[in-house]
Chains A and B, each alone.
Chain A
């Protein structure tokens, strides 16, 4: 197996995903076959290839860092807070993080 049960559990922990026992077993088997397929990339010599980090490298894409630093009020705070499962005033409420 390319991926162990422990690795599936560790990755689920990193991704904050609760998985059932059945899911862990199923994902381990499915990810194993996907990783097996992906391993075909090892046949490609990439020793002289720069990783492609940008799609349009020659880009006329304007550098976002170079825009004018001006504040544009979007005035949707109320609508945004309306979407929250638990909001109070201008805050999102979550379970207590720090015990004292």
Chain B
């Protein structure tokens, strides 16, 4: 057996299995042992499924033994955000209302990962129903940032980000509605990818906002993100919004030179409110891309400043509709509420949902209610069209757009919990791409003088995942040498 190596890439696992230096079973065991040691401190996992994991690992080891061709993710230990359904494994969405919910089926993304040989270890903590930017809205306690345990890991996919960053899993699935993959990826210092809307099936993803939700990977390298994207992307007849575009070979273009590519730098993403250390690193990162031969072009994306306002109208409207299903009848918590049907609904929802969820349901119900629909919901959809148009126009001039992922590095636990609006503004650079439906990745861009990770965000046009991954991969290779503290 190899020494207890902490961080594994997909390629390293494949090489070690093939050379019989470690078995898939041993690798899973090594990860469960580390989770047992470190999870009490990090709170990244909410549930583990060792039986399922070892059964899959043993299948892989049998393939190794008989010299079979190994599937692309053979033996790779993965973690799944707790808003993604896993058959037979408790899936709470970080909420008390689903505390004992056990899905009767697997999400398509999980089916595809396991079909590719991945070993599912368990479910990761997140903000309740993926509503939050710090993981402090989980009913099961906050996740701690493995880089700085007194700080948040970001959210809402904080458990997935922390699990990969701490070496508790080699990769993880998260979901991104307004930044919930990219922002925790940035704050924990790992690559984190949001695909194009519709690129990955949402079947089995417990809905937050259906026109915004996406599933995507957290990994240790951009290469691994490309591998996983190639496996989970593609049409699924069980999700009518999943796109039928062919899935390109993301690996084929991953190492292509980026010299000559046009990279847009939108002015609006460099305004006040950005931490000076973040600004310093992002500017150095852009310098590194220029050294690679990318041509930087300054852009104006004038509707950027309206994105948060649009987002919190449309998101809360969709969320209030999607969360109407938690009524104490078919699954989850039920509270008697005085014995009447209405009383039961009101008590179940009033006690089962946490503060942020209730706040958003009220706001969403308000913006959809009679008399306010045109002023808020319709207006929001109109300005969403303008935010999207900014992206379309930009992509006529550039191949990709580069921005910071988050205006600030990981903040301290409790620092922002009293002011919901301040928390919403943490998503200021990520919600734009969410509204426009374009793909984006956050890739590590050095650390602040305090040792906190900074993320550089790369957006591409719709279905431009190849280009996004290519630039992120090139950047990842040079970022260590570009004068950024790592």
Contact = CB atoms under 8 A, between A and B. Distances in A.
A27 B316 CA distance: 14
16 contacts: A16-B345, A18-B337, A18-B346, A23-B358, A30-B421, A34-B363, A40-B309, A41-B379, A42-B379, A51-B385, A56-B437, A62-B240, A80-B104, A83-B332, A84-B330, A95-B341
Contacts of B243: 56, 59-61
Interface in B87-108: 101-102, 104-105
Interface of B: 101-102, 104-105, 196-198, 211, 235, 237, 240-245, 303, 305-306, 308-310, 312-313, 320, 324, 327-334, 337, 339-347, 349-351, 353, 355, 358-359, 361-363, 365-366, 369, 376, 378-386, 388, 420-421, 424, 437, 462
Given A38-B309, A59-B243, A67-B237, A95 B344 contact: yes
A11 B365 contact: yes
Contacts of A80: 104, 330
A51 B381 contact: yes
A60 B310 CA distance: 26
Q: Which 10 A-B pairs have the closest CB atoms?
A: A18-B350, A64-B240, A51-B381, A79-B104, A85-B334, A46-B382, A52-B385, A83-B331, A55-B437, A18-B346
A72 B242 CA distance: 19
A85 B345 CA distance: 13
A74 B240 CA distance: 17
Contact of A15 (B308, B344, B361): B361
A34 B381 contact: no
B346 A16 contact: yes
A71 interface: no
Contacts of B240: 61-62, 64, 67
Contacts of A56: 196-198, 243, 437, 462
Contacts of A15: 320, 324, 349, 361-362, 365
Given A18-B346, A19-B358, A44 B386 contact: yes
Interface in A75-95: 76, 79-80, 82-86, 92, 94-95
Contacts of B241: 55, 61
Most buried by A among B104, B241, B339, B379: B104
Interface string A1-22: 0010001101110111111000
A4 B383 CA distance: 26
A77 to B, nearest CB: 9
A52 B381 contact: yes
B190 to A, nearest CB: 27
Given A56-B462, A79-B104, A44 B346 contact: no
A79 B379 CA distance: 42
Contacts of B245: 60
Nearest to A93: B329
Interface residues of A, number: 52
Contact of A85 (B308, B332, B355, B369): B332
A17 B312 contact: no
B369 A11 contact: yes
Contact of A14 (B365, B384, B385): B365
A52 B101 CA distance: 35
Given A16-B342, A40-B309, A50 B385 contact: yes
A38 B313 contact: yes
B265 to A, nearest CB: 24
B420 A34 contact: yes
Most buried by B among A7, A17, A61: A17
A98 B37 CA distance: 55
A49 B350 contact: no
Contacts of B437: 55-56
Nearest to B314: A52
A67 B239 CA distance: 12
A36 B266 CA distance: 26
Contacts of B366: 3, 7, 11, 31
A51 B330 CA distance: 35
A85 B105 contact: no
Nearest to B363: A31
A66 B10 CA distance: 39
Nearest to B98: A83
Contacts of A34: 312, 363, 420-421, 424
Given A38-B376, A49-B385, A92-B329, A18 B347 contact: yes
A27 B362 contact: yes
B376 to A, nearest CB: 7
